């Protein structure tokens, strides 16, 4: 259990989900990609329907940890830009069942979630792709998928939670076999670099004091937030090997611009095993 001000943060090992405990108990996961098997069938790969299995995994966590709120960080559906017949059938049923077990369900729109609002049942709160800010017991938590620049106020957060990259780690066994495992990736961001990158994409040349200019132009004071990258909840998805890709290969503007120094981030397996920093794990890929 980790603490950030008045907030308790728990990785729910060995599951790719996280629990925030403050005034609310909030269960979080990312990248469900419901309907993936429909897309795979077009390539000749036949799999049984996965929506019930994914729902069962999520509901078992709800039953065990009793959250009163579930937040999903994007890519609920898989097909882009269309919505498949399977997604139209499965997603309303999925969320209706989830709403029977928790008081509130929130979804942050991901890059696969075009027209998602048309098939979500009433009662699910859907947030823009640029994320939203949660304030719990004096702690600000930014919730985003990661494929778009967040709203500037989200960079005032103490903690950034982000999906989108499906991080994995590549490990080589003594016999030379390479294994890929889903991982959590976490570390601290440099607010000056975040401010500089944000201003640059708005056409502001690199200022001498990026934090001051950020506050002056956008009205928000940026800190040095912690960041956690979520593994994909759907275990059939491919992943981005965090220790085998260059920083420029990472997905999303916060990572690709170099605003976040991922090399110094820590990597954890789903069972909680600490593997080391990304820079160290590059030697094992």
Residue 275 lies in a domain: yes
pLDDT of residue 280: 86
CA distances from 31 to 96, 110, 230, 285 (A): 19, 8, 9, 25
Q: Which residue range(s) make up the domain with 67?
A: 2-189+225-284
Q: In total, how many domains does the chain have? A: 1
Residue 255 lies in a domain: yes
Residue 182 lies in a domain: yes
Looking at residue 103, which CATH number applies to its domain? 3.60.21
Cα distance between residue 131 and residue 119, in whole Å: 20
pLDDT of residue 42: 66
Residue 213 lies in a domain: no
What 3-state DSSP class applies to 213?
helix
Half-sphere exposure of 191 (CA within 13 A, CB side): 21
Residue 218 lies in a domain: no
Write out residues in the chain with pLDDT < 70, as ranges: 1-3, 5-6, 38, 40-48, 247-248, 285
pLDDT of residue 248: 67
Residue 219 lies in a domain: no
Name the token pair of 281: 């794990």
């Amino acid at each position: 259990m980790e603490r950030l001000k008045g907030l308790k943060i728990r990785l729910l090992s060995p599951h790719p989900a996280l629990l925030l405990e403050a005034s609310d108990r909030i269960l979080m996961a990312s990248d469900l990609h419901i309907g993936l098997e429909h897309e795979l069938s077009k390539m000749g790969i036949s799999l049984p329907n996965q929506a019930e299995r994914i729902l069962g995994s999520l509901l078992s966590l709800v039953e065990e940890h009793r959250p009163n709120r579930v937040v999903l960080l994007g890519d609920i559906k898989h097909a882009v830009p269309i919505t498949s017949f399977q997604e139209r059938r499965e997603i309303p049923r999925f969320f209706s069942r989830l709403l029977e077990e928790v008081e509130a369900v929130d979804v942050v729109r991901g890059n696969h979630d075009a027209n998602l609002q048309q098939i979500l049942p009433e009662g699910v709160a859907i947030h823009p792709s640029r994320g939203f800010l949660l304030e719990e017991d004096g702690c600000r938590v930014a919730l985003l998928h990661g494929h778009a620049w967040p709203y500037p106020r989200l960079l005032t957060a103490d903690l950034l939670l982000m999906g989108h990259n499906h991080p994995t780690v590549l490990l080589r066994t003594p016999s030379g076999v390479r294994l890929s495992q889903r991982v959590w990736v976490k570390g601290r961001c440099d607010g000056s670099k975040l401010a500089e990158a944000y201003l640059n994409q708005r056409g502001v040349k690199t200022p001498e004091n990026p934090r001051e200019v950020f506050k002056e132009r956008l009205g928000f004071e940026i800190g040095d937030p912690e960041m956690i990258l979520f593994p994909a909840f759907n275990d059939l998805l491919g992943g981005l090997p965090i220790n085998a890709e260059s920083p420029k290969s990472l997905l999303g503007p916060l990572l690709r611009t170099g605003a976040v120094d991922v090399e110094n981030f820590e990597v954890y397996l789903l069972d909680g095993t600490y593997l080391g920093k990304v820079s160290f794990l590059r030697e094992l890929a």
